[in-house]
C-alpha cells in the first residue's frame, strides 16, 4: 500500500492516467467542499514506492471530480463547485488553459469519452448534462430530464383541450431532487451516456436520437442514486449505487424503453423499481462511487461514507442475464480496504501492470494506492 496526504484539502475524485502507469490526478476541496478553495494534484508513483506531487493547481472553489483527456497525455478536466469546468495542462503554468461556465450550480461529475475520445460529459446540481469539446468555448449539447421528450415524440400525447399531460419525470423547480450526481459515457458506444439522479432515477441517453432519453427507471427505491458505471466487457450491463447502501447490477436489455409508440404510448419512467440482476450488500452507509474493473467483467470497486472500499465479484453469466435468473454468488465481497479514517469519496482502477491495483481518496486528506487481492473481506 502506498499513500500521499493532500494536507489541508479533502479528496473528492481520483483518476489514473490513461497514458502513464505512474500518474494520478486528484481533485480536492478545502473544508470538506462546503466553502473555500480547491486544489488539483498531479501525482507520480515513484520506483521506490513513494508518491510525490509533480505540480498542483489552486482554484477559487472546491473541485469535485476529475477526468484525464483521452487524446492529450498532459491534460485533464476538473469539475468545480462554482459551476465551472476547467481544463488543465500539466506543462502550462498555474492556470487552466480553458474555462467553461454554463452550469448554474455545482458541477459534480466529468467523464471523458473513451470511444470517440474528442469530447467529454459533465453533470451538475442544476439538473443538466452537457457535452463538451476541449477546443470549443460553448457546449455542444445539453440534456435535461425536465424536457418532456416523450410528449414531443408521441403524436397522441396532445389533446384538443390543451397541452399534453407530461409523461416524463418533469420538474419545475430547481431543488436537490433535480441534482444529477454523475454522467458517464458508454465504453462501447461514442454516443450513449448513463446518468445517476438524486430522485433515485437512472437514465440512459443516446446523443444521436431526436429524443435522446432512451431509458429511465427508479434504481434505489426512491433514495438518491449517487453513482453509476458501465461494465467494460458487457455492453448492456451497468451498476448503480446510492443512499440505500446497496450496489445493484442491471441489464438494460431487460428494462422497458421509454420510447412510446403511436398506438400504445407508455410512461417515460417506471414508478416501481425493476428487479436488479444482482445486488451487493455490505456497506454500512451510502455508497459514493463505483467503478467496474478494466481487466475483467466481474470485478467491481466501491467506496462509501462508511470509510471503506470494497471489491465485489459479479459471477452471473450472460445466459443467466438473458433469462433473468438472479444467481447470487457464494462470495460476493472479496476484499475490504479500511485504512481511510473519513468518508471515502473517490476511487479508480489502474489500467496498468498487474490487475487489481486501485487508488482511493477521501475526506481524511489521504490518497491510497493498494492491491485488491491482498485485502481480505
pLDDT exceeds 60 at position 243: yes
153: enclosing H helix or E strand: helix 149-153
State the CB neighbour count (10 A cutoff) for residue 214. Answer: 18
Whether 324 shows a pLDDT value over 50: the answer reads no
How many Å apart are CA 225 and CA 25, to the nearest integer? 25
Average confidence (pLDDT) over 266-286: 78
Contact 312, 298 (CB under 8 A): no
Per-residue pLDDT at 377: 54
- DSSP letter assigned to residue 26: E
Residue of 314 and 259 predicted with greater confidence: 314
Across the range 217-235, mean pLDDT stands at 95
pLDDT at 34: 93
Cβ atoms of 326 and 369 closer than 8 Å: no
Model-level pTM?
Answer: 0.87
Nearest to 227 by CA among 244, 212, 251, 252: 244
- pLDDT, tens only, 79-107: 999 999 999 999 988 899 999 999 999 99
**What cell does 369 get?**
494506492
What is the pLDDT confidence band of residue 325, given thresholds at 50, 70 and 90?
very low
- pLDDT band for 259, please (50, 70, 90 cuts): low
- Each residue of 112-130: pLDDT tens digit? 999 999 999 999 999 999 9
- Split at pLDDT 50, 70, 90, the class of 137 is very high
Residue 69 has pLDDT above 60, yes or no: yes
pLDDT of residue 166: 32
230 pLDDT band, cuts 50/70/90, is very high
**Three-state DSSP class for 30?**
helix
121: Cα within 13 Å, side-chain hemisphere: 28
User: 31-35, 117-121, 219-223, 329-333: which range is least confident on average?
Assistant: 329-333
Q: What is the mean pLDDT of residues 58-83?
A: 97
DSSP string, 287-341: EEEEEE-SS-SSEEEEEETTS-EEEEE----HHHHHHT-----S--EEEEE---S
265/162 Cα distance (integer angstroms): 18
> What percent of the chain shows pLDDT beyond 70?
83
**Strand partners of residue 347:** 360
Residue 208 has pLDDT above 50, yes or no: yes
Half-sphere exposure of residue 124: CA atoms within 13 angstroms, side-chain side: 27
Q: Which pLDDT does position 266 carry in this prediction?
A: 42
C-alpha distances in Å from residue 18, one per residue of 67, 96, 182: 10, 20, 20
Decide if pLDDT at 319 tops 90: no
Mean per-residue pLDDT, 178-187: 96
Q: In this predicted structure, what is the pLDDT of residue 273? A: 75
Task: Answer whether residue 175 shows pLDDT above 80.
Answer: no
- Annotated domain spans of the chain: 2-374
Please provide the average confidence, as pLDDT, over all residues in the chain: 87
pLDDT digits (tens, 9 = 90+) for 147-171: 654 444 433 333 333 333 333 334 3
**% of the chain exceeding 90 in pLDDT:** 76
What b/e readout covers 318-352, taking b as 16+ CB neighbours within 10 angstroms? eeebeeeeeeeeeebbbbebebbeebbbbbbbbeb
Is residue 320 over pLDDT 70? no
Q: What is the CA radius of gyration of the chain?
A: 20
Region 344-356: what's the mean pLDDT? Answer: 92
CATH of the domain spanning 2-374: 2.130.10.10
Amino acid at each position: 500500500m502506498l499513500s500521499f496526504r493532500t494536507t489541508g484539502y479533502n479528496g473528492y475524485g481520483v483518476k489514473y492516467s490513461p497514458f502513464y502507469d505512474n500518474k494520478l490526478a486528484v481533485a480536492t476541496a478545502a473544508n470538506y467542499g462546503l466553502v473555500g478553495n480547491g486544489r488539483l494534484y498531479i501525482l507520480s508513483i515513484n520506483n521506490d514506492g513513494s508518491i510525490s506531487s509533480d505540480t498542483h493547481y489552486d482554484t477559487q472553489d472546491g473541485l469535485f471530480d476529475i477526468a484525464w483527456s483521452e487524446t492529450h497525455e498532459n491534460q485533464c478536466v476538473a469539475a468545480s463547485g462554482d459551476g465551472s469546468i476547467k481544463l488543465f495542462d500539466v506543462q502550462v503554468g498555474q492556470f487552466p488553459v480553458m474555462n467553461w461556465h454554463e452550469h448554474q450550480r455545482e458541477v459534480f461529475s466529468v467523464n471523458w469519452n473513451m470511444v470517440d475520445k474528442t469530447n467529454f460529459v459533465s453533470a451538475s446540481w442544476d439538473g443538466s448534462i452537457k457535452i463538451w469539446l476541449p477546443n470549443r468555448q460553448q457546449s455542444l449539447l445539453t440534456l435535461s430530464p425536465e424536457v418532456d421528450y416523450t410528449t414531443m415524440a408521441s403524436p397522441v400525447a396532445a389533446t384538443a383541450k390543451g397541452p399534453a399531460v407530461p409523461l416524463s419525470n418533469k420538474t419545475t423547480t430547481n431543488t436537490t431532487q433535480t441534482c444529477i450526481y454523475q454522467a458517464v459515457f458508454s465504453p462501447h458506444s461514442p454516443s450513449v451516456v448513463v446518468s445517476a439522479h438524486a430522485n433515485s432515477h437512472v437514465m440512459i441517453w443516446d446523443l444521436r436520437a431526436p429524443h435522446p432519453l432512451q431509458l429511465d427507471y427508479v434504481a434505489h427505491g426512491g433514495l438518491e442514486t449517487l453513482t453509476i458505471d458501465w461494465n467494460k466487457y458487457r455492453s448492456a450491463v451497468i451498476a448503480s449505487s446510492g443512499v440505500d447502501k446497496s450496489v445493484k447490477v442491471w441489464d438494460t436489455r431487460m428494462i422497458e424503453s421509454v420510447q412510446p409508440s403511436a398506438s400504445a404510448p407508455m410512461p417515460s419512467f417506471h414508478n416501481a423499481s425493476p428487479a436488479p440482476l444482482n445486488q451487493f450488500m455490505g456497506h454500512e452507509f451510502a455508497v459514493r462511487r463505483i467503478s467496474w474493473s478494466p481487466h475483467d467483467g466481474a470485478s467491481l470497486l466501491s467506496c462509501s461514507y462508511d470509510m471503506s472500499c470494497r471489491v465485489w465479484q459479479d459471477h452471473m453469466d450472460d445466459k443467466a442475464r438473458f433469462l433473468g435468473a438472479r444467481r447470487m454468488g457464494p462470495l460476493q465481497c472479496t476484499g475490504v480496504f479500511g485504512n481511510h479514517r473519513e468518508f471515502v469519496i473517490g476511487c479508480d482502477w489502474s489500467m496498468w501492470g498487474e490487475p487489481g491495483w486501485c487508488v482511493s481518496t477521501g475526506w481524511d486528506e489521504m490518497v491510497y494506492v493498494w492491491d485488491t487481492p491482498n485485502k481480505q473481506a
